[in-house]
Structure 1
Amino acid sequence: MPARLSLKPLRRPEGWRVNVLTQALGLALSSQVCTAFAADYQASPETVELAPLTVSARLNQESAKDIPFGLSVIDGQTLETRRLRTLEDALRTTPGVDVNSWGGANDANVRIRGVGSLNQMSMDDGSVVLNVDGVPMSVRNAAMATLDVQQVEVLKGPQGTLFGRNSEAGAINVTTRKPTRELEGYVRGEAGQDGQFMTEGAVGGPLTETLAGRIAVRRSGFDNWVDDQQDGDPLTKPRDLALRGSLLWDNDAGTTGLLVAERQRAEHYAGLEILRPFGNRPSLDYTPGTFDGNQKTNERYSFELNHDLAQARITSVSAYTSTDLNAVKGYDRNITRALYGSPSEYLIEDSAHERVWSQDLRLGSLPEADVFWVSGLNLSRSERSFDSDNFTNGAQQRRDFTTNSYAAYGEVTFPIAEDWKLTTGLRHTWDRKTYGADYSSAGSVTGDSRRLQDNYSTGRVALAYALTPQTNLYAVLSRGYKSAGFNDYATSVKDSEPYKAAKVNSAELGFKHESEGGALSLEGALFITRVEDDHLLGYDFNTLAVSAVNADTRSKGAELSSTWHVNDELTLSSAVTYTNAVVTSDAPGVSGGDVAAGNRVPDVPLWSGNFSVAWKKDLPYLLGLPAPRLNTLLNYRLQKNRPADPQNHYDLSGYAKLDLHLGVESGGSEVYLWGDNLLDARYDLYGSYSTAQVTTGMPARGRSAGVGYSYSF
């Protein structure tokens, strides 16, 4: 086994006990204060009356308090005010969720509660399913823009019962804004440091008595904070264009139809590896323009039909999605000099195309029914290619994949005694996958063809107890599964051996409280998850060859979060998560050294937390504006050290990130200043290990600020 780095051994940081106790005590005290004040709300003239938080975490509208598992919800207003422009941005701010990304448009690997692939094997190998308006997509699309989004729900724990395969860790449920029968819309524009800009707008309203429409568009971009050493300019200047149009038909007799067409294109994004340490201004030694051809395009076309019967609702969701990717990746002259002793550009170009047809047909209870139930059938077909061209040695790989998946599912929640409810759900899935490839090297071509089939069941059982009308306790046991498949990056017949399926068993005990009127919400959970045969890449840094390796993991921890609308001016929110995730079996044959049982899961910090203060204050007078109002949001994100790789060679440092929104509203307009990472925290998006002398990674953006304007009508 290679020698381990001696400068930063994996250990608890100094003062960790004090920091942990301080965070836990602070949150506990804030919760106690909230509880104490909550008793006085009804007598207070400033009592805040809010509608109960509703979610579609179980494919129907329900109160979040009634969902028997943990979830985090980010509403559209928060996405806008905190400038969470992509799903990846939103996930990074959610305690208990960890994202490993190289900075490209196709690189995200998401873990929830420490559960997820140690490295992803393929576009089809996701531990977290992404669901947009009822349409499943690969979590590799986490870089998608949060354009005109109503709500993002992060569902924690295995979600295979209702969301299907590849949701062993959880699911991301995105709901976009729908057309209404009233004319409404908004425009927004921003400009800031490092070439950051964004223009966005949406408008919707009635078209006929039964038809309404909505259209939304966003154009945005920035200059990469990594420079090109050869000309001193930003290495890339990524640009995004997102468009969505929707039509809603409602006959006022229990039947609705929603047609959505969406297209998002990301250009000039690049997954980057930079030799550590990065220095004050990170840079790479590439020929200028190397990544100018990088692009990724996502399209989604879906039609949802709902019809209400006397005691049930029929729902059909038909969808077609496509993804087209072209991306150059590799090592710059700095890394090749350190690895091989001579500077050169080692470049590979990947091209990927995916077409997915899906159909979900279900019958379920009406919203607010005494007994919740849903049953359905799901069909999908994926046709996908992933091709690679090595510019250095001329090797080529042409890989084609198909997946046919069929599933039947059902879940029911019903009362079994006064104040007690039982939830039980089951899904059975049939997967059929094929793989075909041609590997070209030194003038010879080798063919490869494989097939596999996988049949499996997932499900959960939960027991909930209404301690009071405002407080629910719950316990849930879940069985998850991540299907077997084929390696996207195989360069030979040996590399294309299918990876094993991952099996998940999870237990969770928690509570949810929502005060009468909704001013105070408080929830917490204890959890433990065991995964058998999770996925890890065996990666050769000399040849870039990749093989499939499996390892068992275990994750346990606790979560506590609260939101308190003190009055119509002040809202306090806090969340803290403790996650202890470790590898529980040896995994030999991985570049950089064998993975040993007892190592911590990479990218998962023991502690992370978030605290925000939102303050709105009427101003008596400002420049003659009608009814001016101060709009302030301060968000503080804290994360402790986390391992850089499965071998635990070194830690990525913890960080504290502070963001600010400071605006003045008048009527439907707002002019605001924004500040991102005001403390200029220097933190890593990921880290990698080649040798004791060569480690690489990707730093996040430092401090930046700008201005913005929005108008809503």
Structure 2
Amino acid sequence: MNVSPSPLWLALATAVTAPAFAADSNNDVIEEVVVTADFRQTDVQAIPEATTVVGADAIEQRSADHLESLLALAPNVNFSSGASRGRYFQIRGIGERSQFVDPVNPSVGLRIDGIDMTGLGGGAGLFDVQQVEVLRGPQGTRFGANALAGMINIESNGPTEAFEGMVSAKMGNYNSYAYGAALSGEVGPGLQLRLAAQQNVSDGYMHNAYLNRDDTQSIDEELLRLKGALALTPNNQLDFTWLYINVDNGYDGFSLDNTRTTYSDNPGEDKQNTRAAALTWTSTAAAAFDLRVHVSGSNSTTDYGYDEDWGYGQYDDTTGTCVVVGTCLANQEGAWGYSSTDQYLRDYRRRELDIRLTSAEAGRLFNDSADWVVGYYQMSRDEDLLRYFFNWDTYMDATFTSDLGTDARAVYGELTISVTDLLTITAGLRGERWTTDYRDSNGIDNDRSENLWGGKLTAEYLLSDSQLAYASVARGYKAGGVNTDPDISEDNRTFDTEYNVAWEAGLKSSLLDDQLKTRLAAFYILRKNQQVKSSYAVANDVGAGYTFQDYLANAAEGQNYGLELESDWALTDELSWTFSGGYLNTEFLDYQYETADGTFSMNGREQAQSPKYSFANSLAYAFVSGLSLTLENEAKDSFYFSDSHNEKAKSYVLWHARVAYDAANWQLALYGRNLTNVDYEVRGFHFGNDPRDGYTNQRWVQYGEPRLYGVEGKYFF
């Protein structure tokens, strides 16, 4: 079922921003929440930009085990699945939706414990995580080319001086279970370690009628993480992380009946194996500045594949009868079935170096009124692809290989000047040299180098001790690249760098003796040379199935603008209310794309993955006895799945609940997600793939999680 939120409900939800009654003076003050992804660790209420921080308590209240389950808590943030997990993210309508053959320069970055995991969101588990930070808007100064739309930063719990540990277990429907443990403490003079491990397993939420299996979309995810902190001297510290992620999920997400029942004879896989490490040296020995040297590296392999025909390829064009006993997928005379699979094996190798100087008190400039940051960044990435597919031109199984090498060198700086006691101006700038080298087995050979730059200018004004207003203009960038389809025209062979100019104004307030905290932002983004994924289906010569032609093109311009509101309200000592809401309007100002049927104009149409509204509410009540109840909902307006067709996801509202009992050193909870069992849509296409109707173009969708429920427990020591 699908339920659309009414305007009345939206009005009631946003009413949290108006302090309608005086708060009890004995209420608990909401704790400070620090953003770790900033140059200087800053409270979320003091950082002059739109940032969402989802802490460990909110993760626990959602019983969330993957990043996709949390994104609704950040305004104007969306994700696209097309896999076992949502691994492609969009912020304010900007971001990729998939990756098949072509190399992709992402618009939304993902970092886990200081390690670049951009484009590898399938491994974004949440076990033993301290917080998730979502920075919205171009992050050109801090992160450069990977953060045109924003950055998602996951920070796990760090090691502790005191010895502590935790074991956890979870069981739920769909044969779901998880178990994990974390152990932390000082193991030697000045050396603290934290070790965390978890396995998360589920049959998944699809039934394969042809194979009579319920696990073709299974979840099997393993995590092992070691974090350490070593005090070399009183002014020098080493922090290090070693990370192992093993994802062995199935992928069987689309049905010829648009249901949760599939008929695939060769279900796909969605695997990821990552080994990564990071080392950070921090020195405060100099009087004028602090030094931070960060190095990280990762090796990842992914295996992503699917059954293209979503069936078992049977046909009988003379009698119209089924060849295979069972559900008939080709039951019309003259209907042809086909059978093929598509598989993408990728190897990723990434290395990073970041050297940063941050002013200390003795190094402040202009009569102690200015702080500064300067840094050097170096990055190298290699991405190798091996594709196994059925070539409809030769009517034979085929392979495709490609190699992409990317190198970047950047210098950056930021200056923050206290003009008066109330007014502060911050200017940041980053210059980057971006070089790529691409070649593939189709004979495409393309090298390119370009100079990129971005930055930000921000003014913040302290209206009072409890209210901060700010305004900013930022320039973000995303490098251009090459399209690899050998059949596209040479005019579409390459695409240019996209630049965004974003204006933002905001107000951050702490009201009612700090029991109500609100964050309001308004933004306007002008997209120049907007990179747009164009994909269209071309009928195969044999009359069964379609071949997709994908390429990235540049729209002349696009615009994205909207409002965002977040609030945390301690209504009483026992009751708290958290709200997050976003309004988003997007539009192509000048964009046309070509298909086999001609040229089409998209001028004035909304951009993909851009719901007009999205919001989330959470009410948490803590009983005196240690019992607590959390009731949550999230809603999203309809949105286009793609920029190359007009199919839309339907609007929806989801409800979640959790009842927990907390004792001195253990916790037990019952949870339920998507309680009304809404079939909400996380990926969609428009093409012909059903032999029963002669491969007529129609709407296809993949569904998100159905109703989930279970029990979970933790023991602390």
Same fold (TM over 0.5): yes
- Using the TM superposition, give the Cα deviation of residue 137 of structure 1 relative to its aligned residue in structure 2, in angstroms: 2.5
- Using the TM superposition, give the Cα deviation of residue 356 of structure 1 relative to its aligned residue in structure 2, in angstroms: 0.7
Residues 391-400 or 697-706, more deviating: 391-400
Matched, 1:708 2:712: yes
CA contact (8 A) 1:643 1:652 kept: yes
Where does 1:414-433 land on structure 2 (aligned, <5 Å)? 414-433=417-436
CA contact (8 A) 1:602 1:648 kept: no
Correspondence for 1:202 among 173, 179, 182:
182
- Using the TM superposition, give the Cα deviation of residue 330 of structure 1 relative to its aligned residue in structure 2, in angstroms: 4.0
Correspondence for 2:12 among 15, 26, 36:
26
- Using the TM superposition, give the Cα deviation of residue 54 of structure 1 relative to its aligned residue in structure 2, in angstroms: 1.3
Give the distance between the partners of 2:78 and 2:190, measured in 1 at CA: 43
Letter in 2 for 1:174: I
Q: Match of 2:66?
A: 86
Normalization by structure 1: what TM-score? 0.88
Matched, 1:37 2:22: yes
Mark the CA change 1:303 to 1:97 in structure 2 (over 3 Å): closer, same or farther. Answer: same
Q: Match of 2:573?
A: 568
Correspondence for 1:331 among 303, 308, 328:
308
Q: Deviations over 1:242-282 (max 9, x none)?
A: 1001221024612110111101011133263334x524xx1
* Contiguous gaps of at least 5 residues in structure 1: 1-12, 440-446, 620-628
Q: Match of 2:322?
A: none
- Using the TM superposition, give the Cα deviation of residue 493 of structure 1 relative to its aligned residue in structure 2, in angstroms: 8.2
- Using the TM superposition, give the Cα deviation of residue 27 of structure 1 relative to its aligned residue in structure 2, in angstroms: 3.9
Count of aligned pairs between the two proteins:
669
Give the distance between the partners of 1:90 and 1:110, measured in 2 at CA: 12
Correspondence for 1:526 among 512, 522, 525:
522
Q: Match of 2:287?
A: 310
Where does 1:321-400 land on structure 2 (aligned, <5 Å)? 321-334=298-311, 341-366=335-360, 371-391=370-390, 393-400=396-403
SS of the residue 2:459 aligns to: strand
Give the distance between the partners of 1:233 and 1:508, measured in 2 at CA: 50
Correspondence for 1:644 among 641, 645, 659:
641
SS of the residue 1:29 aligns to: helix
Q: Match of 1:162?
A: 142
Matched, 1:219 2:199: yes
Give the distance between the partners of 1:118 and 1:103, measured in 2 at CA: 11
Q: Deviations over 1:578-612 (max 9, x none)?
A: 10112222221157873511111122111111110
SS of the residue 1:139 aligns to: coil
Q: Deviations over 1:410-464 (max 9, x none)?
A: 112221123001011000000110011113xxxxxxx332100011110010111
Letter in 2 for 1:618: V
Mark the CA change 1:224 to 1:242 in structure 2 (over 3 Å): closer, same or farther. Answer: same
Give the distance between the partners of 2:4 and 2:406, measured in 1 at CA: 50
SS of the residue 1:313 aligns to: strand
Give the distance between the partners of 2:272 and 2:596, measured in 1 at CA: 29
Give the distance between the partners of 2:471 and 2:463, measured in 1 at CA: 13
- Using the TM superposition, give the Cα deviation of residue 166 of structure 1 relative to its aligned residue in structure 2, in angstroms: 2.2
- Using the TM superposition, give the Cα deviation of residue 189 of structure 1 relative to its aligned residue in structure 2, in angstroms: 0.6
Mark the CA change 1:618 to 1:407 in structure 2 (over 3 Å): closer, same or farther. Answer: same
Matched, 1:686 2:683: yes
Mark the CA change 1:92 to 1:397 in structure 2 (over 3 Å): closer, same or farther. Answer: farther
Q: Deviations over 1:478-525 (max 9, x none)?
A: 1010001234x6456868923221110110111001248643210111
Matched, 1:62 2:47: no
Matched, 1:471 2:467: yes
Letter in 2 for 1:255: N
Give the distance between the partners of 2:670 and 2:76, measured in 1 at CA: 29
- Using the TM superposition, give the Cα deviation of residue 349 of structure 1 relative to its aligned residue in structure 2, in angstroms: 1.3
Normalization by structure 2: what TM-score? 0.88
Give the distance between the partners of 2:275 and 2:511, measured in 1 at CA: 41
Residues 495-504 or 118-127, more deviating: 118-127
CA contact (8 A) 2:72 2:614 kept: no
Correspondence for 1:110 among 89, 92, 104:
89
- Using the TM superposition, give the Cα deviation of residue 112 of structure 1 relative to its aligned residue in structure 2, in angstroms: 0.7
CA contact (8 A) 1:538 1:591 kept: no
Q: Deviations over 1:659-703 (max 9, x none)?
A: 111011111211111101001111101211115742212011221
Give the distance between the partners of 2:508 and 2:204, measured in 1 at CA: 42
Mark the CA change 1:143 to 1:137 in structure 2 (over 3 Å): closer, same or farther. Answer: closer
Q: Deviations over 1:188-244 (max 9, x none)?
A: 110000111111211100011210111000100111212212133122322000100
Correspondence for 2:585 among 568, 577, 580:
580
Mark the CA change 1:188 to 1:657 in structure 2 (over 3 Å): closer, same or farther. Answer: same
Matched, 1:301 2:277: yes
Letter in 2 for 1:219: Q
Identical pairs, percent = 21
Correspondence for 2:223 among 220, 242, 247:
242
Mark the CA change 1:271 to 1:129 in structure 2 (over 3 Å): closer, same or farther. Answer: farther
Q: Match of 2:264?
A: 286
Give the distance between the partners of 2:292 and 2:512, measured in 1 at CA: 32
- Using the TM superposition, give the Cα deviation of residue 28 of structure 1 relative to its aligned residue in structure 2, in angstroms: 4.4
Q: Match of 1:406?
A: 409
- Using the TM superposition, give the Cα deviation of residue 643 of structure 1 relative to its aligned residue in structure 2, in angstroms: 2.0
Mark the CA change 1:334 to 1:649 in structure 2 (over 3 Å): closer, same or farther. Answer: farther
CA contact (8 A) 1:656 1:679 kept: no
Letter in 2 for 1:696: W
Mark the CA change 1:14 to 1:55 in structure 2 (over 3 Å): closer, same or farther. Answer: closer
- Using the TM superposition, give the Cα deviation of residue 103 of structure 1 relative to its aligned residue in structure 2, in angstroms: 2.7
Mark the CA change 1:390 to 1:32 in structure 2 (over 3 Å): closer, same or farther. Answer: same
SS of the residue 1:245 aligns to: strand
Give the distance between the partners of 1:175 and 1:595, measured in 2 at CA: 43
SS of the residue 2:590 aligns to: coil
CA contact (8 A) 1:470 1:516 kept: no
Where does 1:609-628 land on structure 2 (aligned, <5 Å)? 609-619=615-625
Mark the CA change 1:71 to 1:333 in structure 2 (over 3 Å): closer, same or farther. Answer: closer
Mark the CA change 1:23 to 1:206 in structure 2 (over 3 Å): closer, same or farther. Answer: same
CA contact (8 A) 1:135 1:302 kept: yes
Mark the CA change 1:500 to 1:366 in structure 2 (over 3 Å): closer, same or farther. Answer: same
Correspondence for 1:695 among 692, 699, 704:
699
- Using the TM superposition, give the Cα deviation of residue 366 of structure 1 relative to its aligned residue in structure 2, in angstroms: 4.8
- Using the TM superposition, give the Cα deviation of residue 50 of structure 1 relative to its aligned residue in structure 2, in angstroms: 4.2
CA contact (8 A) 2:254 2:702 kept: yes
Q: Deviations over 1:323-377 (max 9, x none)?
A: 1012222423459879994222221111100101110000113599975432100
Mark the CA change 1:351 to 1:15 in structure 2 (over 3 Å): closer, same or farther. Answer: closer
